[in-house]
Amino acid sequence: MTVARKHLLVMLLLLTGACSAEPAAPSPSPRSPLKPPTLVNEVVPPQDVLTVVRDVIDARTVEFADGTKVRVASLAEPKACFAEASLSFARSTLLASSVRFTGLEIGVVDLELENGTDYAVLAVQQGALKPEGVESGPLINARDEAAAARRGLWGPPCEGSDTSKPAPTTTTTTSAPPPPPPTTTTTTPPPPAKACAASYRITGQWQGGFQASVTVRNTGTAAVNGWSLQWAFSNGESVREMWDASGRQYGSSVSAANMSYNRQIAAGKSVQFGFNGNSRGRPVPPGAFSLNGVKCAVE
């Protein structure tokens, strides 16, 4: 066999083996492990969120700007004896203010004022509320401080109780009835001065609508730090948009709360806000106003 024929035979054998060989199996690609299905909705509560308090329902329950209603954790429900005063404290502290909150569970949060003050500790320290569900820590220290100073609900008439304590009664024994007191002419003292005054002016009217300007004056001797003015319409009027105050309306009842830049009304000073409204007929100025729950004089 010649050399050329041997080379040709070797080449044919190599080509035949290459065609008949099975292709190598591809190596498996790495795969991430499958996560087993779960019925638990893994939702992370909001953390350190800045928002504005739009309404105060009671001293431990508020409504945020987006309409979410939450309860402040570790505060006991305000009882009848001090509920009104507690609500006044919460409104003056929180209403229309910027706050930060951290969700603990659905509808329950820790709440901080914009300056970092823990609202729950402040409320207990001022005697507006009692702590609940804690046995030690800042809330208990705040409670003990308020009780020692007889501050808020720890003073009269509540004296730390959930209901007003009756005045102590004394029984006196006399051998003879005392002589009648001499007849004197008494003069009824004048009523106490109002702490606020409000004026309401209709500044423009058109078919189905009107514009009004409201001035609130602090006639007391102390500054008002945070305010909410309330009134009621009598002829079907409604607020459409408001400026220099945050307005809300339920039926005929309206409240206007301060903005961040006009929160304080110094003694003898005033603030002004305005709004556009809808009306079915001639708009009628309200006849009564109250500021943070205190009835105002109408100017």
Rounded to 5 degrees, φ, ψ at 192 are -65, 150
Q: Is the pLDDT of residue 208 over 60?
A: yes
The answer to whether position 262 is within a domain reads yes
The answer to whether position 161 is within a domain reads no
Q: How many domains does the chain have?
A: 2
* Residue whose entry in the numeric block shows the structure tokens 């591809």: 26
Centre a 10 Å sphere on the Cβ of residue 103 and count the other Cβ atoms it contains.
Answer: 18
Nearest to 150 by CA among 178, 126, 186: 126
CB 129 within 8 A of CB 75: yes
At residue 196, the pLDDT reads 94
Q: Give SS3 for 105.
A: strand
222-260 in b/e form (b: 16+ CB < 10 A) is eebebbbbbbebeeebebeebebbbbbbeeeebbbbbee
Across 71-85, 128-142, 176-190, least confident range: 176-190
- Per-residue pLDDT reduced to its tens digit, 48-63: 888 999 999 999 999 9
- Per-residue pLDDT reduced to its tens digit, 16-45: 655 555 555 555 555 555 555 555 455 667
Cβ burial, residue 32 (10 Å; 0-12/13-18/19+): exposed
Decide which of 101, 121, 154 is a domain's last residue: 154
- Same domain, yes or no, for 200 and 133? no
Q: What is the pTM of this model?
A: 0.46
Q: Please tell me the distance from the alpha carbon of residue 51 to that of residue 71, in angstroms, as a whole number.
A: 15
Decide which of 154, 178, 213 is a domain's last residue: 154
CB 102 within 8 A of CB 48: yes
Rounded to 5 degrees, φ, ψ at 229 are -100, 135
- Per-residue pLDDT reduced to its tens digit, 252-279: 899 999 999 999 999 999 999 999 999 9
Across 164-173, 208-217, 235-244, least confident range: 164-173
CATH for 59: 2.40.50.90
Decide which of 101, 130, 154 is a domain's last residue: 154
- Per-residue pLDDT reduced to its tens digit, 157-205: 898 888 765 545 555 555 566 666 665 555 554 444 458 999 999 999 9
Looking at mean pLDDT, say which of 113-117, 153-157, 161-165, 215-219 comes out highest.
Answer: 215-219
- Same domain, yes or no, for 129 and 204? no
Q: Please tell me the distance from the alpha carbon of residue 299 to that of residue 287, in angstroms, as a whole number.
A: 10
CATH for 201: 2.60.40.290
Contacts of 10 (CB under 8 A, 6+ apart): none
Domain that holds residue 270: 196-298
Q: Kindly report the average pLDDT of the chain as a whole number.
A: 83
Q: Is the pLDDT of residue 64 over 80?
A: yes
At residue 243, the pLDDT reads 96
Q: How many CA atoms lie within 13 A of 23 on its CB side?
A: 3
- Same domain, yes or no, for 149 and 217? no
The answer to whether position 121 is within a domain reads yes
Instruction: Examine residue 189 and say whether the peptide bond preceding it is cis (omega within 30 degrees of 0).
Output: no
- Arithmetic mean of pLDDT, 77-101: 88
- Same domain, yes or no, for 62 and 148? yes
Contacts of 46 (CB under 8 A, 6+ apart): 101, 102, 103
Q: Is the pLDDT of residue 88 over 60?
A: yes
Q: Which one has a higher pLDDT value, 189 or 4?
A: 4
